[in-house]
Amino acid sequence: MRKYLLIGVSAFVLGAGSMAYVSQQALASAQPRTNTYKMLELFGDVLDTVERQYVTEVDDKKLIEAAIDGMLTSLDPHSNYLNPESFDDMRDQTRGEYGGLGIEVTSEDGVVKVISPMDGTPAFKAGIKAGDYITAVNGGSVLGLSVSDAVKQMRGKPGEAVTLTIAREKTDPFDVKLVREVIKTKSATGKLIGDYGYLRVSAFNEKTTDEAEAVITDLRAKNPKIKGWILDLRNNPGGLLDQAVGISDLFLEGGEIVSQRGRDPRDVERYNARPGDATGGAPIVVLTNSGTASAAEIVAGALQDRKRAEVVGLTSFGKGSVQTVIPLRGGMDGALKLTTARYYTPSGKSIQKTGIIPDLEVAQTREDAQAIANRAFQFSEASFRNALNAEEGKARIGAHEPAEAPPEGFDAKTGDFQLSRAEDVLKYGSVAATPKLPKPQARLAEVIGPKAPKVEPPQVKK
């Protein structure tokens, strides 16, 4: 109410001069509005022509839904229309239980692309990887389908088999047969690794903060003298903003966690931590990779900026935008998932396209190190053609030799090299104090197309 009162007072004080100005504004705005009406009339003409002349009968409802979805997906990769069925599916997913395969996907130029498989799900067990393309479901092509339509084909009755056709870089397309399960995503799990606590957060649904707090309490009861914590956010595709704030709050005594800013520069909303650190102030290392996205990046960025944790692994996905789900007629007509703001880390930095840069860059395998050198590994927000722009003057790090990779003889099938380096950072007290390993000597490939800016890979926190 206060905002409206201030506007009213301003208009009264400006008087007649402002009335003339408003009149000019009204005339100026009439032309764009006229153009909008003309384009809506054009849409009606096209719909009418398709209805009368298309080679087969069409479903008006499907056509209009597709048009709405196309309008939204043209804005950015994360805005889209959810029909009533898709809206219900989304609510099931955020509640942490639904029937399906356990894959977080997006659309890139009409192709369904995997952001990451979820821990312990059929997709995870089948070896589906971030960056894989899904080209067909049960032999039927999904090329050109919206994400919601493609997901609809993958979800269904638990116990039924589904065959996905996967296209992966440097391999021929292959089929993967999976069986749908009731996906009860336990988004936070943990264990003791020697004197350290390990907390794995695989997604951010309505139960995540409660589950994580229970894991921390349980591990501290088993070992009250835990010397440090590893927070594993690798291949975490994100989820609910309030849960990202809740997880960050578990490790902070106060201060800002994240801010989000809308179209109006004055429209800033800040989220702050409350007093109380669930770990008792023990050191923390956060693990990230290119599948660490959105809400997971909020947590990594907050703990890194607030000097509460150091980050080990690979640069994160780089999704720095906030989507608001806006029900239409209470959800009866579905909902819009619309990008309404960007989020910023406590230092005021946007990670849109650029991602969270680790304090110690560590490739998981020698093959990953080579992939980073030839850019094949760089599936990220920056790879989307219509992604929101990064901050002015900022760009994602291009092809480079990663700082570290497993030495010769390291068994990547039984060992977790990134995790072992996180343990080393806890053991030595900081990234700066941790002895560095020789660079993996990955061969830099020729970059095709516009060259990425030359940026030295990070090794220690600045």
Cα within 13 Å of Cα(333), Cβ side:
8
Q: Is the dihedral of CA 436, 441, 446, 448 positive or negative?
A: negative
CB contact at 8 A, 164 and 137: yes
Quick one: which of 348, 239, 254 has its CA closest to 297? 239
**DSSP structure string for 186-221:** --EEEEEETTEEEEEE--B-TTHHHHHHHHHHHHHH
| Cα-based distances in Å from 125 to 117, 120, 137, 176, 403 | 9, 6, 18, 11, 30
CB contact at 8 A, 293 and 237: yes
Q: What are the beta bridge partners of residue 163? A: 177
CB contact at 8 A, 77 and 343: no
The order of strands in the sheet holding 309-313 is 188-193, 196-201, 228-232, 284-288, 309-313, 360-361
Active-site residues, by number, are 294, 305, 319
Q: What is the DSSP letter of 414?
A: T
Q: Which two tokens stand for residue 98?
A: 């639904």
Total Cβ atoms within 10 A of residue 344:
23
CB contact at 8 A, 421 and 360: yes
The contacts of residue 432 (CB under 8 Å, 6+ apart) are 460, 461
Instruction: Note the helical H segments in 312-447.
Output: 366-373, 417-428
Residue located via tokens 């990234």? 431
Q: Report the C-alpha gap between 326 and 61 in whole angstroms.
A: 20
Q: What are the beta bridge partners of residue 162? A: 178
Q: Which two tokens stand for residue 302?
A: 């907050």
